Every structure is written in structure tokens, then in C-alpha cells.
Amino acid sequence: MHRALPVFGTVALLLAACSGDGGSSPTAIDAGDTLTLTSASLSINGQPLQTGDSVHHNHDGAAGATRFEATLMSPLGPAPGHRVEVSFERPGGMMHSAGSFHLYDDGTHGDRIAGDGVYCFEDSEGAYGLHHMEAHHGQYDYDFCGFHPDGRETNHWAFHVTVVD
């Protein structure tokens, strides 16, 4: 026998009677409306950046990567299995100066632990980041955003980093 508990916010718990002991335990959780980006970060070759930072054109970027990382949470904890994207705008004159790319929570693309709600993309090729020696001078804007299963956006997390001489 299943009975629905009252909905508090947008999280509903359904309880099922356990056979034998008469108790109940959660069997289904709907936290789709309450996903939140709780952190986002950007680092170059392992060095974390803060929004508004400037990096020198000839920084340690000959090798390494720009790492993009964001944590997506529900009220019950980490939220794996969803979509997190980064939209970007780079200085004019660069190939693909605007667009977006996905972060991953599947143990690939620089993600260290699959299914932990931490979404990552490690850009070692310089496709989106600013770590490579040929990075144009100017401001790089990155906007992190998660998505609910129905396509609605979560909150956003913005980073602005400038490449200087």
C-alpha cells in the first residue's frame, strides 16, 4: 500500500509499507523543481581563479588545461544525471567567440568521480578556455547553468576573467 505525504515546497515523498514490520520507508523522490547550482569554479593548470581575475598572456599555459566545474544539488544532496552547461563569450577575432558546452558527471572529460553531482569539463585543447599561449587579450565571460528534467534553467553562476599582457 502506498500513501502520499503532503508536498512541502516541491519535494514529494511517497512511502510504502514494508512487509513484515509494518514500518515505512521512502521509495520515490521528486526533487525536479529544486535543483540548484551551489558552486562553480574555473582553474588554469590547477590554479583556481576568482571572477574578475586577470591572467597574463604568457602564463603557464603552454601545457595543461582550463578546468570548468560546478556542483548541482537537490534538497536531498548531490544531483547526478542532469545537465549542466557553460555559455561563453570570448574576445572578438577568436574562432567560435560565443557558444556553449556541457559539463559531465560521468567520470570523463576531467570529471573525477561519476555520479557525485560535481559536473566538469577539462579543456586541454583550448577550445573554450584561456590557458593556451595563443589566447587573445580581453575579457572571457563564462555563465554556468543547470537544467531541470523539463528543460527549465536553475540559477546561474558567472565568471569574468581577463587576459592581459
Residues 6+ away with beta carbon under 8 Å from 45: 60, 61, 63, 64, 65, 131
pLDDT means per 10 residues, the chain with 165 residues, are: 31 28 35 82 92 78 78 95 95 78 96 97 84 79 96 95 88
Q: One-letter amino acid identity for 141?
A: D
Handedness of CA 98, 43, 112, 69 (dihedral sign): negative
The reported pLDDT for the residue numbered 41 is 96
**10 & 76 share domain:** no
Residues 41 and 15 in one domain: no
Sign of CA dihedral 125, 40, 118, 84: negative
Look at the chain and report how many structural domains it folds into.
2
95 and 148 share one domain: yes
Give the residue carrying C-alpha cell 543547470: 146
**Same domain assignment for residues 26 and 48:** no
- Assess whether 52 and 120 both reside in one domain: yes
Tell me, yes or no, whether 19 and 40 share the same domain. no
- What integer pLDDT is reported at residue 11 of this predicted model? 28
Give the per-residue pLDDT at 33: 60
Do 95 and 122 lie in one domain? The reply is: yes
**Would you state the pLDDT for residue 30?**
46
What does the pLDDT read at residue 59? 55
β-pairing verdict for 54-56 and 153-164:
parallel
Q: Are residues 15 and 79 in the same domain?
A: no
Same domain, 43 and 88: yes
Residues 24 and 56 both lie in one domain: no
State how far the Cα of 142 lies from the Cα of 159, in Å rounded to an integer: 5
Q: What is the pLDDT of residue 63?
A: 54
CB neighbour class for 8 (10 Å; exposed up to 12, middle 13-18, buried from 19): exposed
Q: 107: domain range?
A: 34-164
Do 52 and 2 share a domain, yes or no? no
Whether 130 and 102 share a structural domain: yes
C-alpha–C-alpha distance, residues 156 and 39, integer Å: 10
What torsion, rounded to 10 degrees, do the Cα atoms 143, 144, 149, 154 define?
-80
pLDDT of residue 23: 34
CATH number at residue 82: 2.60.40.10
